[in-house]
Every structure is written in structure tokens, then in C-alpha cells.
Amino acid sequence: MTTIARLLVALLLALTGALVVGAPAAAAAPACDPTVGSQPKTAALMSTSPLVAIRTGHDRCWDRVVFQVAGSVGAGWDVRYVDTVVQDGSGAPLAVPGGARLSVVLHHPSTDEQGAPTYPARIGPVANVVGSPTLRSVVFGGSFEGYTTVGVGVRARLPFRVFTLAGPGGDTRIVLDVLHGWDAGR
């Protein structure tokens, strides 16, 4: 190695070390945001793009339910706290365990345009909530005339938010986050 190359390597190592040593301490994680509130959240768009999957997860602030819709589409939903979640079409009460219940009405069917199921058509629990601080149940309530209902049982009436994310692939995800508590993360 030439003298110039050694000097450049030494200079690079010195600068890298100075950047690491001189870097400010990482900022503390921001507090969880309870300002999203517990009032209904609605996006009125209708779509023929069907529901294909439901998953759950959680982090330090939120428990999450993800509704995956086929295709990169505008997504529609109506999410609100209710005393009783009802099944699509029949209006029959849906058993949704939890201290409070969110009715999630997706403006998407659970069948393709030929009527074939894109999501299992059985009424009942559909996601694992074991280990979730807030979620108590996720229950499929059926699909009728382009709307699909899912009941989400939570431990209490807590703030929640609903938004979309792109992916995986060309699909769209409708995300429901429920805060662990009104003072979570403080």
C-alpha cells in the first residue's frame, strides 16, 4: 500500500471515529400519541378489490390489525366503537370477546368478481391475539354486497387510528392501530 493510500485510510478511520464519538445521543422515542381519539374513522371509497388476508401485531404503543386488499387501490372503511357488532347481510349479532368492540366495515368484498372467496368465508375468530396487550379478538363477520365486516375486541375503549400502506407486492393494507392506553408511552 502506498503512503498516500495509508494516509487516506487513516484519515477516513479518524473521521469515522470522530463522527461516531461526536454524534449526539439518540433522541428518546417519542411518546405514544393518544390524540387520535376514539371517535369513528371513515374513508368512503368503494372498491371491488377484495380482502385477501388479516394479520395482527403489536409494538410498544399500539396493537395492530392489518387487512390486506388485492391490488394497489383506493381503500374504504368505517371503523367505530359499538355495543354489538352485527354480521353482514343478516344483521345477526356477532360474538366479539373484549371489554369494548370495534366494528370494522371494509368497503371491499371478500370474494372476487366471479363470487369465489378470496378470504375464508366462515364466520368466527380469524387472527391470533395471544400476547397482545390490547387486542382480545378479531372475528370475521361476513361479506355482503361489497362490504366486509370484522369485529375487533379490545380490553377497553381506547384511542385508535386507521390508515393505508402500500404492499406487499402490488397490494394495499388497511391498518387499524389501537393504543395500549390513554397514557401509553408516557
CA atoms within 13 A on the CB side of 24: 3
Write down the pLDDT at residue 159: 94
User: From the centroid of its chain, how far is CA 105?
Assistant: 14
**Can you say whether residue 124 is alpha, beta or left, with left for phi > 0 and alpha for psi between -120 and 50 degrees?**
left
Of 134, 130, 110, 123, the closest CA to residue 61 belongs to 134
Residue pLDDT, tens place only, 2-20? 555 454 444 444 443 433 3
Is 83 inside any structural domain?
Answer: yes
Tell whether the model's pLDDT for residue 63 goes beyond 70.
yes
Query: What is the Cα 19 distance to its own chain's centre?
Result: 37
**In total, how many domains does the chain have?**
1
DSSP 34: G
Would you say residue 9 lies in a domain?
Answer: no
Residue 129 falls within a domain, yes or no?
A: yes
Average pLDDT, the chain: 83
pLDDT band, very low/low/confident/very high, at 22 (cuts 50, 70, 90):
very low
Asked, for residue 6, whether it belongs to a domain, the answer is: no
Residue 88: give the domain boundaries: 34-179
Query: Alpha-carbon distance 10 to 16, whole Å?
Result: 10
If one compares 158 and 23, the residue with the highest pLDDT of the two is 158
pTM beyond 0.75? yes
The predicted pLDDT at position 5 comes to 46
Has residue 14 been placed in a domain?
A: no
User: How many Cα atoms occupy the beta-carbon half-sphere of 93 within 13 Å?
Assistant: 7
Q: Which of 20-29, 41-50, 107-116 has the lowest mean pLDDT?
A: 20-29
User: Reduced to 3 states, what is the DSSP secondary structure of residue 146?
Assistant: coil
Question: Is the pLDDT higher at 90 or at 56?
Answer: 56
In a domain, 108, yes or no: yes
Q: What is the CATH number of the domain that holds 90?
A: 2.60.40.3500
pLDDT value at 25 more than 80: no
Question: Over 60: is that where the pLDDT of 1 sits?
Answer: no
Q: Is 37 helix (H, G, I), strand (E, B) or coil?
A: coil
pLDDT of 88 above 90: no
Residue-wise pLDDT for 103-150, tens only, equals 999 999 999 888 889 998 688 999 989 999 999 999 999 999 999 999
Q: Does the residue 26 lie in any domain? A: no
* Whether the predicted pLDDT of 78 surpasses 80: yes
Distance between CA atoms of 143 and 151, rounded to whole angstroms? 12
Q: Mean of the pLDDT values across residues 23-41?
A: 64
Distance CA 54, CA 68 (A): 6
Q: How many CB atoms are closer than 10 A to CB 3?
A: 7
Burial 52-87, CB ≥16 within 10 A → b, else e: bbbebbbeebbbbbbbbbbeebebbbbbebeeebbb
Is 3 inside any structural domain? no
